[in-house]
Amino acid sequence: MRIGTGFDVHKLVEGRKLILGGVEIPHHKGCLGHSDADVLLHAICDALLGALSLGDIGKHFPNTDEEFLNISSLVLLKQVAIMIKNKNYQISNIDSTLVLQNPKISPYIFQIRNQIADVLQIDVQQVSVKATTTEGLGIEGREEGVSAQAVCILKTL
């Protein structure tokens, strides 16, 4: 069994779509980044990569590479899933938390979980996604940014 953790944060800006867990969430701001800046999927990728000591998302998908400009983070997650399989591991479970003041994420949680499970080819019951606010404190509370954290357990095939 291997355990990994991941964390990511992105600035919120006008003129970008807010993509969380591969789902477009209606909001007047979106995350700034080289890819689609899906902070949740980036944290999950880092947790999965970390569990196998494969480095982080920036090592495999650098923001200096035009190949990854505006790419869907679902594509990156799929590549990470292939790396896991190639190392003879499988995902036992993923637990993740989004941290943002607005918009409310609860109406989209099931869709996000399904999207992640579909890409990773695992059961939706193996994917937990939660959301919380910071009660107006910090970059998330001031609606300047969004952060996410994730933990995963991998087991051998």
Identify the pLDDT of residue 139. 98
Q: What is the pLDDT of residues 8-64, one digit of tens each?
A: 999 999 999 999 999 999 999 999 999 999 999 999 999 999 999 999 999 999 999
**Judging by beta carbons within 10 Å of its beta carbon (0-12, 13-18, 19+), is residue 62 exposed, middle or buried?**
exposed
> Taking a C-beta distance cutoff of 8 angstroms, is the pair 142, 6 a contact?
no
**Of 26, 25, 22, 52, which Cα lies nearest the Cα of 35?**
22
Which of 63-67, 79-83, 119-123 has the weakest average pLDDT? 63-67
Q: What is the pTM of this model?
A: 0.97
Domains and CATH numbers, the chain: 2-156 (3.30.1330.50)
Structure letter (DSSP) for residue 22: T
Q: Residue 11 and residue 146: Cα distance in Å, rounded?
A: 7
